[in-house]
Amino acid sequence: MATDKRADELRQSSNPLYNDRKLKLGTFGSNLDRGCAISTIDGVLEINWPNTLTLAKLADEMEFEALVPVGRWKGFGGVTNFNGPGFECFSWAAGIGACTRNPAVFSTSHVLTVHPIMVAKQATTIDHISGGRFALNVVTGWHRPEMEMFGAPLMAHDDRYELAVEWLDIIKRLWTAEEEFDYDGRHFKISKGYLEPKPLQKPFPPVMNAGNSEKGRDYALRYCDVAFVNLNRGDLATSQAVIADYRQRARKEFGRELQIWSHAYIVQGETEAEAKAYFDEYVHQKGDWQAATNLVDTMGLNTEGVTPERLQAMKMHFIGGWGGFPLIGTKEQIVDGLGKLSAIGLDGLAVSWARYIEDMRTFQRETLPLLKQAGLR
């Protein structure tokens, strides 16, 4: 089948996303101020080039498979203006790709803000800089103030995905077509499209999408190599069923093999009580709850029928680590939690820490050896 061939191409490529490790790991949001923790605690990520490069090199030393930036053009207010300051994803990936050897370097791109010809050219350049380690994360955009800053109204949800189909189709054709081509779509008109050189990865780099709506899920199943899914924090069996459904639908409906990734945040202590106290400090005591409220409202999650308790829990996890799955406890408990996430069918996890640099170094020193002993790395 066609996508079996695609999966084989990726496994044979230079991209580390397709190595044989049981649980692949990446960093998440290390291109933005405060990373993934909406907190005023001391030691959160202050975004500057030396800090983001330090995180990339730590991941490189641990042979992480991915560095996944968050595409962000405007912050969420509050006392932190969470994620307001930050680095643009393509230029960030070019610099990081030149300074690392092991991980896949993603660019996260909003289809509404960058023309597909520009994306194809930038991505190809980064693929050459990194020696064939580039990957593209496609996002359709939901943060209305960002889109309006570009001078265009936020399109309806399904319309954004219809645009994304054309956008990615043009990029893939530019990456692969040997002859110039015309494109006459609803959203894009291309006259004599041309791109040289081609990416190092043949026929083109991996593509990821994180849509969780039915339209978003269909987009990942049809057009992408990696689906980035949200986990049910209260019921891993539900998440296991969702992951299995992704794989079954991809194979049955489209003859495709998908990798499935998610994200988690790690809060580690010498004891479980110490880890929980750390979480309480940076989330409950020093969390920027106004920024978290702004984020939840902008995402449209504060809807009729959502209980105050559920809303509060959502904000708590956004403060903890951008709404990811919480892994809180000792190094042994962290390894056990990562093992459980692997067991439900995940290929990989993009992870973050509150005190990003300090905590990641602790993970490298104390937790990574246990992951290897457990056969997860």
Whether the pLDDT of residue 1 is over 50: the answer is: no
Average pLDDT taken over every residue of the chain: 94
Domain limits for position 183? 2-373
Give me the pLDDT at residue 13, please.
Answer: 76
Q: Domain with 355 in it: what CATH number?
A: 3.20.20.30
Tens digits of residue pLDDT in 112-160? 889 999 999 999 999 999 999 999 999 998 888 888 888 877 788 889 9
Tens digits of residue pLDDT in 69-85? 999 999 999 999 999 99
| Cis? peptide before 199, omega within 30° of 0 | no
Q: How confident is the model at residue 199 (pLDDT cuts 50, 70, 90)?
A: very high
Q: Which of 297, 327, 330 is nearest to 311 (CA)?
A: 297
Share of the chain above pLDDT 70, in %: 99
Give me the pLDDT at residue 153, please.
Answer: 74
Share of the chain above pLDDT 90, in %: 85
Alpha carbons 197 and 342: distance in angstroms, whole number:
38
pTM of this structure: 0.94
Give me the pLDDT at residue 348, please.
Answer: 98
Alpha carbons 93 and 109: distance in angstroms, whole number:
12
Tens digits of residue pLDDT in 253-307? 999 999 999 999 999 999 999 999 999 999 999 999 999 999 999 888 877 788 9
Q: Which of 147, 36, 81 is nearest to 290 (CA)?
A: 81
Identify the three-state secondary structure at position 320.
helix
Give me the pLDDT at residue 283, please.
Answer: 98
Sign of CA dihedral 279, 285, 290, 293: positive
Sign of CA dihedral 38, 39, 44, 47: positive
Residue type, position 202, single letter: K
| Residue 162 CB burial class (10 angstroms; 0-12, 13-18, ≥19) | middle
Tens digits of residue pLDDT in 314-339? 999 999 999 999 999 999 999 999 99
Q: How confident is the model at residue 2 (pLDDT cuts 50, 70, 90)?
A: low
Give me the pLDDT at residue 192, please.
Answer: 97
Per the structure, the count of domains in the chain is 1
Whether the pLDDT of residue 3 is over 60: the answer is: no
Give me the pLDDT at residue 188, please.
Answer: 95
Identify the three-state secondary structure at position 136.
strand
Whether the pLDDT of residue 7 is over 90: the answer is: no
Tens digits of residue pLDDT in 224-253? 999 999 998 989 999 999 999 999 999 999
Whether the pLDDT of residue 173 is over 50: the answer is: yes
Q: How confident is the model at residue 65 (pLDDT cuts 50, 70, 90)?
A: very high
- The residue ranges of DSSP E strands in 96-172, in sequence order, are 104-110, 134-139
